[in-house]
Structure 1
Amino acid sequence: MPSTTTRTIALAGPDAAAFANAQLSSDVLALAPGHWQWSGWLDPKGRVRALLQVARVADDRFLLVPRGGDAHAFAQDLARFVFRSKVNIQVSDTLHASDGEAFDEGCVREEADGTLVFGEGDASLRIGAQAGSDAWIARHIAKGQAWLPDTALGTLLPPALSMERLGAVAFDKGCFPGQEIAARLHFLGGHKRHLHAARIEGDIALMEGQALSINGKEAGIVLMQDRIGEKPTTLVVLDDTMSQEETLDIGNARLHLLSTFAA
């Protein structure tokens, strides 16, 4: 069974913190060395180009882990905004996401072989050269921590990914791309799509990135699916008008909504 892969984007140099803070949606300057936070990179219309885990491994060195998408493309686009900033951008080789042992929530360490370990309290997520257990997928689905398929990139606004709940958007830190739209949604509301964890009931296998329709109408998109167990769970974004019931018919299967995550 293939593992989930990604690459790290390293930002290093005297201006790395200021550069990351200006581009990303979280308060990067508040991140202490040895810690990590959720973040995002938005386009000017506020849509999520990349959902990220950002690790500060030294005062002047950050490692960005895109949860889906092409890290090389992200890095190339970021480089367009460097201008005179003293920051170097490098992309790693392909790395595997795997389950890890208990490690303090919010802490991060870089091991001797380059493996990055993100602490989650009673578990951790390892990003390294060696593939391992996929047990983290079910845990992240249950927590509403998305990994984005290509078809979701640049299409969803922060509330649809529950980014405020994750602490991935800060409105008191100064400007960042997409801030105006994100702030408008935060203060005025009105967004009609939310993130849900669901159990799949029926003889069907959903695919990451699959569009969902209910009664012939567009309903949302599948982000993640747990591939372990008899009753797989999935993380989906659904239109609010389609998610009023606990169980939804989707063709020859049903989605039983387990939880709905706040924006």
Structure 2
Amino acid sequence: MNADWKAFLTDKGAVFNDNEEITTFGQPEIERFMVKNGPVITSLAHQALIKVTGEEAFDFLQGQLTNDLKDVSEQQAQLSAYCEPQGKVLAIMTVFKHQDALYLSFDGSLKQTILQRLTMFKMRSKVELEDVSEQMIQVGYAGDFADLDVQRLLSTKIKNIYEVEQVQDEALSDIIAIKLPGPYHCYSFFGPVEQAKSLWDTLKNNGEFTNTQDWNLIHIVSGQPQVNDTTSNEFIAQFLNLDKLNAINFKKGCFPGQEVIARMFYRGKATKRMMRLHLEEVLPLEPGETFKLMDEAEKKYKFTTVSSAPDIYEGTVCLAVTTLKPLESVQGQLKTENGAIANIEPLPYDLTED
């Protein structure tokens, strides 16, 4: 993380873990409660950001990622994935374009692994890969009325998901804003450290700080999967619902894992899917950790955690992958192995097969 930015956050009361994620700003109860409606602001500077340039940059990435880069412009970002040849997801990325360069934003724990892999496969292509995570600071802002805040405080209006705009405020003119999926209006901002500080102070006028874990609640309730160094290379793309999130283009041509992913799409259906669950007990589930639920006939059902966080009020909310077929025969109420009630909750998108 940029040392100047980290010092700025520390002065605001931020406490960091070994992954440079914010664990608290000193008021954990308020930080969690504020996520319910917002507005909340947090640092996402622990995330990786790779800049891709060169006359063959488009063709190179078009052959590596699951989505069609033809849909990416200075005004439109997209969700995409980077897979290995068997269709398992190595990283989930937000891809955007700025000043003719393409940018890949993804989980920071995967930065070196993904950068090395992309470097290996570019071979002699006229492509440059640069880690700009410390040069372009990422800030998150979200809330029921965050769209009005962005319009009023930053003179910037962004209407559609994955729409990209340069902030219109003259003092923040190097800041890029991207609207992301969420239970309410949600944004990521990218920009140089000094302007990121000014952005933070401006948004703080109408919002409250929150930590990384509570920010992740926004992704969980929205059914947005995250992949880190523990879950990388664990799940086929459809198991993470990436086809339902428009992160896969089945007509664009070849990319690593395309044969497996396309075969599942055209010839069959996904045997596993990512579900959203609410458990009426606090379970510290880590990404990749498996757990079992039991029905009233004492039949057990296995789930693998994608992401998890304590609920705002009580219990745990998580995204977890499970095999679909056994769920058809669930008898009665599902419970955890400790006897707490467990509910599979509806996602904000349809999981039914076409």
Normalised to the residue count of structure 2, the TM-score between the two structures is 0.65
The structure with the largest alpha-carbon Rg is: 2
Residue in 2 aligned with 1:106?
162
Count of matched residue pairs: 262
Map of 2:180 onto structure 1: 120
For residue 312 of structure 2, the aligned residue among 204, 223, 229 is: 229
Cα deviation for residue 116 of structure 1 reads: 5.1
Alignment of 1:78-227 (within 5 A): 78-93=118-133, 98-100=140-142, 101-102=146-147, 103-104=158-159, 105-109=161-165, 112=172, 117-120=177-180, 123-126=185-188, 132-133=209-210, 136-214=215-293, 219-227=302-310
2:82 matched residue in structure 1: 41
Displacement after TM superposition at 1:8 (Å): 0.5
How far residue 206 of structure 1 moved from its aligned partner, in angstroms, is: 2.7
Shift of 1:208: 3.1
Deviation, structure 1 residue 207: 2.9
More strand per residue: 1
The answer as to whether partners of 1:41 and 1:51 remain within 8 angstroms in 2 is yes
Where in structure 2 are there 5+ consecutive unaligned residues?
Answer: 1-21, 24-42, 148-157, 201-208
User: Which amino acid in the other structure matches residue 120 of structure 2?
Assistant: R
Does the Cα contact within 8 Å between 1:149 and 1:209 map onto a contact in 2?
Answer: no
C-alpha separation between the residues in 1 aligned to 2:233 and 2:117? Answer: 14
Matched, 1:73 2:160: no
CA contact (8 A) 1:214 1:242 kept: no
Q: Is 2:317 the counterpart of 1:255?
A: no
Q: Deviations over 1:150-186 (max 9, x none)?
A: 3321010111111111111111111111110000000
Q: Give SS of 1:76's match.
A: helix
Across the aligned residues of Structure 1 and Structure 2, the Cα RMSD in angstroms comes to: 2.9
What SS does the corresponding residue of 2:130 show, helix, strand or coil? strand
SS of the equivalent of 1:54 reads: strand
Deviation for aligned residue 1:204: 3.2
Counterpart amino acid of residue 308 in structure 2: Q
- Output the CA distance in 1 between the equivalents of 2:173 and 2:323: 43
Distance 1:6 1:13 in 2: 23
SS of the residue 2:52 aligns to: strand
CA distance in 2, matches of 1:61, 1:142: 32
What letter matches 1:197 in structure 2? R
Q: 1:74 to 1:196 in 2, by over 3 A?
A: same
Alignment match, 1:17: 58
Taking the aligned partners of 2:139 and 2:289, their CA distance within structure 1 comes to 22
Matched, 1:57 2:93: no
Moved more, 148-157 or 102-111: 102-111
* TM-superposition CA deviations, 1:15-40 (whole Å, max 9, x none): 22111111101001221222210100
Supply the AA of the counterpart residue of 1:125: Y
Once residues 270 and 264 of structure 2 are traced to their aligned partners in structure 1, the CA distance between those partners, rounded to angstroms, is 7
Asked whether the 8 Å contact 1:99–1:133 carries over to 2, the reply is no
1:113-135 per-residue CA deviation (whole Å, 9 max, x = no partner) reads: 97653213752232556795356
| Secondary structure class of the residue paired with 2:247 | coil
C-alpha deviation, 1:56, in angstroms: 1.5
Cα displacement string for residues 48-79 of structure 1 (whole angstroms, at most 9, x for unaligned residues): 01111111223x31111114641121011001
* TM norm structure 1: 0.86
Cα gap change, 1:65 to 1:203, in 2 (>3 Å): closer
Query: What SS does the corresponding residue of 1:141 show, helix, strand or coil?
Result: helix
Q: Given the superposition, is the C-alpha separation of residues 243 and 115 from structure 1 closer, same or farther in structure 2, using an over 3 Å criterion?
A: farther
Alpha-carbon shift at residue 191 of structure 1 (Å) = 2.4
C-alpha separation between the residues in 2 aligned to 1:86 and 1:200?
50
Distance (whole Å) between structure 2 residues aligned to residue 208 and residue 247 of structure 1:
25
Which protein is richer in helix relative to its size? 2
CA contact (8 A) 2:180 2:188 kept: no
Deviation at 1:228, TM superposition (A): 5.1
- Whole-angstrom CA distance in 2 between matches of 1:203 and 1:138: 14
The aligned counterpart of 1:27 is 68
